[in-house]
Amino acid sequence: MSLPLTVIVLAAGKGTRMNSERPKVLHRLAGRSMIHHVLTTAAALAPDRVVVVLAPEMDAVAAEVDRGPLAAVIAYQEPQLGTGHAVMIARQHVPRSGDVLVLYGDTPLVEADVLQRLLEARRAAEAAVAVLGFRPPDGAGYGRLAWDQQGLAAIVEERHADETLRAEGACNAGIMAFDGARLGELLDALEIKQPKAEYYLTDVIAHARARGWPCTAIEGPFEAGLGVNSQAQLADAEALLDDVYQRADE
């Protein structure tokens, strides 16, 4: 059964590691901004509502969103207190039912079919949360997805993961699908965590499981979870996108 879909795109990061005054999500791949790629992918899902979370004074990004393929509500995050806080900011624009899909403006290579599989997996498992996993060539720095007999048990930070989980566990891409009816309670349960004094969206898995709500995950291709945080990663993404276009032309 199809459910109403809200897409939240988190794009408030300033991208200091890009060594550029241009907002990170406006850096271009194949002639289009990263956030344009993300919104185009979201459009393929025919969402009922789109919310883009920005930082104040990101007028150029807001203008790019307005030029994009979807009508979107802009929500401003000030101060920036992490991914969990960004979704809290978007929450006022999100219905308390249906599917809620959280994407990132700097993760431009995920494709619509992968996101559709994630939504379908959440519904099939009647899960509160479904997470996109992937296996990059180098998993350093990524949290790992840990499973038990009840489903997805936790997202474990790499430094807390044992050797087996680091070697065998899929990495967390950050992209999540939520049951909108349970999202509010999960966000209310989040607490500020040190050392960055932020609300971490990954903590929703533990809060859902504590309430007896199942969670699940799927694995997508490694490109789906490739975030761009530096000029080197931007070049990698450009090369991967070129490969996709070449295969499509063959």
**Nearest CA to 93 among 199, 202, 208, 183?**
183
Does residue 135 carry a catalytic annotation?
no
What's 159's domain CATH number?
A: 3.90.550.10
Can you tell me the distance from the alpha carbon of 233 to that of 246, in angstroms, rounded to the nearest whole number?
A: 20
Residue with tokens 């791949």: 29
**Nearest CA to 186 among 232, 129, 137, 230?**
129
Q: Do 83 and 194 form a contact (C-beta atoms < 8 A)? A: no
* 153 membership: H or E segment, kind and range: strand 151-156
Can you tell me the distance from the alpha carbon of 208 to that of 206, in angstroms, rounded to the nearest whole number?
A: 5
Domain count, the chain: 1
Alpha-carbon separation of residue 202 from 102, 128, 142, 186 (angstroms): 12, 13, 12, 11
Per-residue pLDDT of the chain (250 residues; tens, 9 = 90+): 578 999 999 999 877 778 788 899 999 998 999 999 999 999 999 999 999 999 998 999 999 999 999 999 999 999 999 999 999 999 999 999 999 999 999 999 999 999 999 999 999 999 999 999 999 988 888 999 999 999 999 999 999 999 999 999 999 999 999 999 999 999 999 999 988 899 999 999 999 999 999 999 999 999 999 988 888 888 888 888 776 554 444 4
* 75 membership: H or E segment, kind and range: strand 73-76
Task: Write down the catalytic residue from 17, 117, 135, 166.
Answer: 17
Can you tell me the distance from the alpha carbon of 117 to that of 231, in angstroms, rounded to the nearest whole number?
A: 30
* pLDDT tens-digit series, residues 195-219: 889 999 999 999 999 999 999 999 9
> For residue 87, what are the domain limits?
5-249
Is the dihedral angle over the CA atoms 156, 132, 25, 28 positive or is it negative?
positive
